[in-house]
Structure 1
Amino acid sequence: MEDLPLNDLDAFTAIARERSFRAAARKRGVSASSLSDSLRRLEEHVGVRLLNRTTRSVTPTEAGERLLQRLTPALSEISLALQQLDVFRDSPSGTLRLNVPIIATRLFLPDLASRFLKRYPRISLEIVGEDTFVDVLAAGYDAGIRYDERLDRDMIAVPIGPRRQRYVTAAAPDYLERRGIPGHPRDLLEHECIRHRFLSGAALPWEFERADETLVITPKGPIIANTIEMQVSAAVTGLGIIRTFEEVLMPAIERGELVPILDDWVTEFSGPFLYYASRKHMPPALRAFVDFVKGEPRKEG
């Protein structure tokens, strides 16, 4: 085993995580054929098949799954050891992998990431936006962004982005002319509503708050989508009533394409957090990002 290259082990880990040669190749910035060659060499060295490959899927064998579980922390430690050499350089370097909700990639993360990378040009960011709640460490990420109800209690959480956000309700003027203006959230049960479905398949009910009163309803409507763009477009064309982040709807409201309704029933909640595991030796790229976020002025909305 002494002549087994670490690159081949790293290639196997990438393919097994992504369940795809092409996806792993894109993330590594190499060709799929080079990853295939690495996997072939590795399987020849260990003498067992590590991945089952078909034209449609790539899945680890039992041996491959066991190797992946042992390799992931080991390769992370090797990567961290190399990154620690940054203390001898002028500025930190390396790749920082973040798992974030899609809304963060639209509302505040692009601007923050741009300013961070201008300050630390030797660091590269790999940002995966998804609304499924993965174990960031097990999936190979350095950190994640989550709202407080989704935070694991054994993780460190640092405020990032706006500190207070609001859910508002709106509809197109022509829809309100045709169907009338709801005066209470219960009235929405008689209206067409545009809902969001997460990739996990969950479609959450709508929650409303007024003073000390909380009301939860499950509206119905002609369209349910997992993208904000589709939902807003459907609302603007008059298909129904939408309820989502105020920042998302504000451009259409300012253009007069949507009209806010149920103003007394706006739901306010705390903003997102950057969260990561407590480590004695934090990767330099993550340390730089955490310090950068901590130095950001706190915006209330």
Structure 2
Amino acid sequence: MRQPNLTDVALFAAVVEAGGFRVAAQKRGMSASSISDGVRRLESDLGIRLLNRTTRSVVPTEVGARLLERLRPALEQMSAAFGDLHEDAQRPVGTLRLNVPVPVARFVLPKLVPAFLARYPGVSIEVTMDNTFIDVIAAGYDAGVRYEESLAKDMIAVPIGPRRQRFVAAAAPAYLEQNGTPLHPRDLLNHRLIGHRFESGKLGVWEFEKDAARIRVPPQGPLISSSQDLEVGAALGGVGIIYTFEEYLGPLIEQGTLLPVLEDWWQAFDGPYLYYNDRRHVPSPLRAFIDFLKTETWAG
């Protein structure tokens, strides 16, 4: 057995952590073939197979899993030691990669990002909008933003943005003049509703709350879309009633181009959270962003 190259050891760990060569290559800024060559070289030096490769998955062998379990603490310490050569607690450098839902990218981050980048000029941010519930860490992101009901229990969560939000229902004046104004959620069964379908294929069911009562209404109507912009535009055009984040409709209600309906039944919920996995060494851009969020007071 030849002495293994530490770089190849790190590449092997990166493939296992990422669940595949492609994601590992994206995270490390390398080609998948280069990482594959490094892992093969390590297997040759050790004289053992470390990974089982199929067309659909890459998983460690029993020996590979045992080896990685022994190596992980040392690899984390090495990463932290090398990172400390380039990172300063007051002057973090690097790229912060975030995966966030569309409403957060549209209404929350624009109120935070400019001040954060001004405070930390050595940091850049890459933001991907994604409404699906994915393992953002395995996908190569430093952190994600989601709502509490979809957070994994093993994640650390930090509040970001408004702490309370609402869904609001509204329709164009012309629509209500022609079809009447619903006075109870049950009345929606006799109205045209504009529905939202998530990327997962699931149709968003409308939920209304008042006192101890909760009513769910599957939206039935002439339009179901995965685009909030299209849904809002359709509501403005008199297609039907819309029920979505207050941030989308609030300005239009203030202008009078949409009129609120069922205000006593609008559902309120907790605001979003930034989340990341519990690891010993948090990259300096992410640490700076977490510290920044803890000093911010959300004004709405």
TM bucket (normalised to shorter chain) is 0.7 to 0.9
Equivalent residue letter for 1:142: D
Query: Once the 2 structures are TM-superposed, how far is the Cα of residue 43 of structure 1 from its aligned partner?
Result: 7.2
**Aligned to 1:108, what secondary structure does the other structure show?**
helix
CA RMSD of aligned residues (A): 3.8
Aligned residues: 290
Mapping 1:245-256, distance limit 5 Å: 245-256=245-256
Query: Once the 2 structures are TM-superposed, how far is the Cα of residue 240 of structure 1 from its aligned partner?
Result: 1.0
State the match for 1:148 in structure 2.
148
Q: Distance in 1 between matches of 2:21 and 2:197?
A: 24
Q: Distance in 2 between matches of 1:76 and 1:175?
A: 60
TM-score under structure 1 normalisation? 0.77
Q: Distance in 1 between matches of 2:208 and 2:109?
A: 27
Equivalent residue letter for 1:269: F
Over residues 63-91 of structure 1, what are the superposed CA-to-partner deviations in whole Å (9 max), with x where a residue is unaligned? 9xxx9xx7xx8988765543333455751
Moved more, 236-245 or 77-86: 77-86
The answer to whether the Cα contact below 8 Å between 1:52 and 1:61 also exists between their aligned partners in 2 is yes
**Aligned to 2:133, what secondary structure does the other structure show?**
coil
Structure 1 pair 51/282, CA: closer, same or farther in 2 (3 Å)? Answer: same
Q: Distance in 1 between matches of 2:28 and 2:86?
A: 21
The answer to whether the Cα contact below 8 Å between 1:84 and 1:283 also exists between their aligned partners in 2 is no
Over residues 49-72 of structure 1, what are the superposed CA-to-partner deviations in whole Å (9 max), with x where a residue is unaligned? x9999xxxxx66779xxx9xx7xx
State the match for 1:273 in structure 2.
273
Q: Distance in 2 between matches of 1:274 and 1:123?
A: 18
Which consecutive residues of structure 1, in runs of 5 or more, have no partner in the other structure?
54-58
Which consecutive residues of structure 2, in runs of 5 or more, have no partner in the other structure?
none
Equivalent residue letter for 2:175: Y
State the match for 2:85 in structure 1.
85
Over residues 151-191 of structure 1, what are the superposed CA-to-partner deviations in whole Å (9 max), with x where a residue is unaligned? 22232222110111111100111111221111111111111
Q: Distance in 2 between matches of 1:151 and 1:160?
A: 14
TM-score under structure 2 normalisation? 0.78
Does structure 1 residue 295 correspond to structure 2 residue 298?
no
**Aligned to 2:269, what secondary structure does the other structure show?**
strand
Mapping 1:1-301, distance limit 5 Å: 9=11, 80-88=80-88, 91-299=91-299, 301=300
Equivalent residue letter for 1:150: S
Q: Distance in 2 between matches of 1:203 and 1:187?
A: 20
Query: Once the 2 structures are TM-superposed, how far is the Cα of residue 5 of structure 1 from its aligned partner?
Result: 6.5
Q: Percent same amino acid among aligned pairs? A: 47
Query: Once the 2 structures are TM-superposed, how far is the Cα of residue 280 of structure 1 from its aligned partner?
Result: 2.9
In terms of Rg, which structure is larger? 2
Query: Once the 2 structures are TM-superposed, how far is the Cα of residue 252 of structure 1 from its aligned partner?
Result: 2.1
Query: Once the 2 structures are TM-superposed, how far is the Cα of residue 226 of structure 1 from its aligned partner?
Result: 1.1
Structure 1 pair 52/223, CA: closer, same or farther in 2 (3 Å)? Answer: farther
The answer to whether the Cα contact below 8 Å between 1:4 and 1:45 also exists between their aligned partners in 2 is no
Structure 1 pair 150/35, CA: closer, same or farther in 2 (3 Å)? Answer: closer
Structure 1 pair 90/165, CA: closer, same or farther in 2 (3 Å)? Answer: closer
**Aligned to 2:287, what secondary structure does the other structure show?**
helix
